[in-house]
Amino acid sequence: MQCDEAQALISASIDGEVPDVGAGELRQHMAACAACAGVQADFRRLSQQLKSAGREILPARMETRVRQALAQAAAEHRPALIRGKPWVRQLAAMAAVCLIAVFGTWSVTRYMESESRIEQDVLSAHVRSLLQDSPIQVASGDPHSVKPWFNGRVEFAPEVKDPAAEGFPLVGARLDYIGGRRVAALVYKRRLHTVNVFVWPSASPGDAAPRLIPVNTYNLLTWRHNGLTYWAVSDLNGAELQQLQALL
């Protein structure tokens, strides 16, 4: 037996795990080879040192901890789906994530769609009002005659003001149709510009700060106040439109 063959068996020899076929030859080699005998002695000493080094000390609380965990595991009656194999659980998790993503996208696009549909409606109503002979059904600069005009025409009472002193005279009002409902339209002037302010009851509660949306060279300004949704639209610049909003 050569040294390299012997080396492969020295470790097994101190564990008493040398295959029967090699045992005799190894013994002979060990008796003759001082180097291999040295390795064997070293390995034997290492083995002794490790054995006497002993295990890592087990913390006293471990047994209680494991007993508690086992009691809890025994008490748990989990539904079959969750207790299933890991791939079943992964599949379930993936399906859940897909559903959430689909529903999330659907509701977001639905919300965005309704928002942009309102935008389109508001703009169309504004332009249509300017195409006609008159954008108003009732001509009056007096809020006290415009407000009662809406009685029985819409199912809410829009707040009507006349900020003529600030350069936004009230011209009148009419009814319009936006987002599938009848809405109040108040018409104001600013120099030669016409401003349509559409009002209807809000779907969501609470007030919302004005938001300026420029669309096709027109400016749209929307806000919510006291349960009513307002959309002001005009070819007026955004700053003056916001000025009007502050006056209403």
Partner 1 sequence: MSSRTTFEQLALPHLDAAHNLAYWLVRSRPDAEDIVQDAFVRAFRSFATFRGGDIKPWLLTIVRNVAYRWLAGRKRANNVVSIEEAFAPRDGDSVGEAWIASEEPSPEALLIGAQERARVLTALAGLAPAFREVLVLRELEELSYNEIADVIGAPVGTVMSRLSRARGELRTRLGALIEKEEKDAM
- Closest approach, Cβ 91 to partner 1, in A, equals 20
- Closest approach, Cβ 31 to partner 1, in A, equals 20
Cα 136 from Cα 138, distance rounded (Å): 6
Question: Where does this chain bind partner 1 (CB under 8 A)?
Answer: 7-8, 10-12, 15, 17, 39, 42-43, 46-47, 49-63, 65-67, 69-71, 73-74
Under DSSP, is residue 240 helix (H, G, I), strand (E, B) or coil? helix
- Exposed/middle/buried for 239, CB within 10 Å: 0-12, 13-18, 19+? exposed
**For partner 1, which is the closer residue by CB, 54 or 206?**
54
**For partner 1, which is the closer residue by CB, 12 or 175?**
12
**For partner 1, which is the closer residue by CB, 79 or 205?**
79
Q: Which residue pairs from 78-84 have beta carbons closer than 8 angstroms and sit at least 24 positions apart in sequence?
A: none
Contacts of 178 (CB under 8 A, 6+ apart): 118, 121, 122, 125, 198, 200, 231
- Closest approach, Cβ 42 to partner 1, in A, equals 5
- Closest approach, Cβ 200 to partner 1, in A, equals 53
**For partner 1, which is the closer residue by CB, 90 or 109?**
90
- Closest approach, Cβ 45 to partner 1, in A, equals 9
Locate 162 and state its tokens.
């006349």
Cα 218 from Cα 215, distance rounded (Å): 5
| Beta-carbon count within 10 A of 156 CB | 13
- Closest approach, Cβ 43 to partner 1, in A, equals 5
**For partner 1, which is the closer residue by CB, 60 or 246?**
60
- Amino acid type, 219: N
Cα 62 from Cα 91, distance rounded (Å): 35
DSSP 8-class letter at 246 = H
**For partner 1, which is the closer residue by CB, 80 or 192?**
80
